[in-house]
Amino acid sequence: MKDEPEQDLELTSPLVPLFVITNGRALPPDHAYERTTLVSAHEGASAAARTISPEARQVLDLVMDGFLSVAEVAAHTHLPLGIVRILLAELEESGLVIARKPVPRAERVDRELLNAVLDGLKARFGA
Amino acid sequence: MNQDALVWCLVAAVAVAVAAALVLNRRNKAIAAKKAQVEATLTQKLSETEGQLAGLWGELQQHKTQHAETIQEAEEAAEESTKAVLKGSARFLQSLAAEQLALLEEIQRKYGGHAVLGDLLEVNHANAQMARKAQGIAVMCGAPLGRRNKAASVYDVVRSAQGQIRNFRRVEIMQQTGFALKASAVSPVALAVAELLDNAASFSQQGSPIEVTFQRVQKNLCIVIDDAGVGMNDEDRQKASALLSGDHRPRLSQLGNQPKFGFPVIGLLAQQYGFRVDVTGISRYGGVRAVVLLPEELWTEEEITPAETPQLSTIHSAPARPESVARTAHGLPRRGARQVPIASVPDHDDTAAPPAAASEETGRAAGRSLGAFQRGTLSGRNLASAPFEGSDDT
């Protein structure tokens, strides 16, 4: 080993890792808590939530007065979207928030199929 | 006549007997003299030999002590060289693990919206455990600990320790406190608590809780760790106390094949940074109660807001966000065409009070970017095969 003067190692990673913030919970399924899903706190949630982590508390405080989208919650808390989704899943499980799913998109029709039908019709009846 | 003859015979016999006795006597004397002479020489020889023996014995002892000294010296030299080798490797591992943790954090933020985040979190967990081991070896070899340059709440320090053990979900931190550890104490206390938590987790049943509570006792702040394990017997307790006080420092070579450096590491850290650790208590579940006693030099009573989550107040107090515009009568954020956007995400480096016009401009920019973001999401969904969509940093 070289005998160089010992340099201090500085730890730059955040003190509390993200997996501790989520307490090791898995990501909720993809369709739950999409970016545009609106979430709001249940009435009386603030008083009921005594033992939640500071980050979950922060999320809860954000949605206390009304609906906010998941993407916005993530932006305000500066937490990665996935982490916010896990926290929201945890909060909803303990009945502290409610989520309103975005309006499902109208089913899209396959354009190629329509073209094929149109071509068929044209061939059959002429146009 | 007959009588005379008998007398003469008797006289002759007596004379012969006397003569024989005289001869025997003289012989006896000679033998005795010889015996004494031989005895004297033998004693002399014996004492000489005894003297030699004593000399040899002394020499032997001298050799023995020299031998022991040499062995000890050799052992110490071996210990030192082992330490030096290990120290270098440990420092390498330590810095690599730290680098990797920082990298992983960055990647987790980068792919925060992607399903890969779940796996990244697990990789991070494995890496945090490796970092702890590397730090432990480094401490055993006398290398310095990686330091943190920011004070942190004691709650976060314990959460940091929590992340460094395998079964971290079992750890329940019971209350949040207004106590903060000074920057210099953050790393050592986190490592010591992590080792205690690891111990608590390994010596108790799977699934049983490990409770962490905080108590202020006079001028000391206590981190109390209760497990539901089997507890320790008196001998174990004594050994543990000796190790934890830092008085007894086992050699690396004494740690064995499945080295347990938990307690020796804690002992070294405690001595180096001036806190105390006690494991002689009994927890309320009948297991071990470990107490980390932090003297007042190591902590303050200030509130520390976590560094990675900027204060909400800067968002709410942004001057260009009048509540009446931002929300409808039902408290819903209003969407659609508007003068002032409702979601103005402040920049990290936003100073306390930006000028109103500028912040309105940044607000608009944020609104535009959110719009673009939404359009991007929609167009992304319109594609038949959804492209990689997790790269936006939210």
pLDDT tens figures, A72-124: 999 999 999 999 999 999 999 888 898 887 776 667 778 889 999 999 999 98
B217 strand-pairing partners: B220
The contacts of residue B377 (CB under 8 Å, 6+ apart) are A35, A36, B389
Do the beta carbons of residue B204 and residue B210 sit within 8 Å?
yes
Mean pLDDT (chain B) is: 81
pLDDT 10s digits, B195-244: 999 999 998 888 899 999 999 988 899 999 999 988 888 888 888 888 88
For residue B3, what are its two tokens?
Answer: 């009588």
Kindly list the residues from chain B whose CB atom is less than 8 angstroms away from the CB atom of residue A108: 382
Kindly list the residues from chain A whose CB atom is less than 8 angstroms away from the CB atom of residue B187: 11
Mean pLDDT, residues A62-67 taken together: 88
Region of residue B207 (phi > 0: left; psi between -120 and 50: alpha; otherwise: beta): left
Question: In which residue are the tokens 């330590």 written?
Answer: B94
pLDDT 10s digits, B144-189: 888 898 999 999 999 999 999 999 999 999 877 789 999 999 999 9
Q: How far apart are CA B285 and CA B278, in angstroms?
A: 17
| Domain count of the fold of chain A | 1
Which pLDDT belongs to residue B313? 41
Q: How many contacts does A have with B, using Cβ atoms within 8 A?
A: 152
pLDDT 10s digits, B231-270: 888 888 888 888 888 777 777 777 777 677 889 999 999 9
* Strand B180-181, strand B299-300: pairing: antiparallel
Q: Residue B8 above 50 pLDDT?
A: yes
Domain of residue A62 covers: 21-125
Q: Residue B340 above 60 pLDDT?
A: no
For residue A34, name the pLDDT band (cuts at 50, 70, 90): confident
If we measure between CA atoms, which residue out of B153, B164, B176 comes closest to residue B299?
Answer: B153
Q: Residue B321 above 60 pLDDT?
A: no
Question: In which residue are the tokens 């025997």 written?
Answer: B24
CA atoms within 13 A on the CB side of B111: 14
Quote ipTM for the complex.
0.76
Asked whether residue A66 is domain-assigned, the answer is yes
Q: Give every strand in the sheet of B180-181, ordered side by side.
A: B152-153, B180-181, B299-300
Cβ of A15 within 8 Å of Cβ of B104? The answer is: no
Which pLDDT belongs to residue B174? 81
For residue B29, name the pLDDT band (cuts at 50, 70, 90): very high
Kindly list the residues from chain A whose CB atom is less than 8 angstroms away from the CB atom of residue B159: 15-16, 20
Asked whether residue A107 is domain-assigned, the answer is yes
Cβ of A17 within 8 Å of Cβ of B124? The answer is: yes
Asked whether residue A1 is domain-assigned, the answer is no
Asked whether residue A8 is domain-assigned, the answer is no
Mean pLDDT, residues A36-50 taken together: 80
Asked whether residue A58 is domain-assigned, the answer is yes
| B68-77, B248-257, B363-372: least confidently modelled range | B363-372
Which pLDDT belongs to residue B367? 60
Asked whether residue A14 is domain-assigned, the answer is no
Mean pLDDT, residues A40-53 taken together: 78
Higher per-residue confidence, A28 vs B312: A28
| A1-15, B85-99, B375-389: least confidently modelled range | B375-389
CATH number at residue A95: 1.10.10.10
If we measure between CA atoms, which residue out of B168, B279, B288, B166 comes closest to residue B227?
Answer: B288
- Nearest CB to B147; choose among A6, A11, A14: A11
Cβ of A13 within 8 Å of Cβ of B101? The answer is: yes
Mean pLDDT, residues B350-361 taken together: 48
Q: Residue B304 above 70 pLDDT?
A: no
Q: Which residues of A91-118 are buried (b: 16+ CB within 10 A; e: fewer)?
A: bbeeebbbbeeeeeeeeeeeeeeeeeee
Asked whether residue A6 is domain-assigned, the answer is no
Q: Is the dihedral of CA B81, B83, B87, B90 positive or negative?
A: positive
Which pLDDT belongs to residue B124? 94
Grouping H, G, I as helix, E, B as strand and the rest as coil, residue B89 is helix
Would you list the DSSP string of B261-288? -HHHHHHHHHHHHT-EEEEEEE-TTSSE
- Nearest CB to B112; choose among A1, A58, A82: A82
Q: How far apart are CA B112 and CA B373, in angstroms?
A: 15
Q: Which residues of A4-41 are buried (b: 16+ CB within 10 A; e: fewer)?
A: eeeeebebebbbbbbbbbbbebebbeeeebbbbbbbbb
**Torsion, Cα of B50, B51, B56, B58 (10° steps):** 110
Do the beta carbons of residue A79 and residue B309 sit within 8 Å?
yes
Asked whether residue A118 is domain-assigned, the answer is yes
Higher per-residue confidence, B392 vs B42: B42
Q: How far apart are CA B263 and CA B246, in angstroms?
A: 9
Grouping H, G, I as helix, E, B as strand and the rest as coil, residue B204 is coil
Kindly list the residues from chain B whose CB atom is less than 8 angstroms away from the CB atom of residue A26: 118
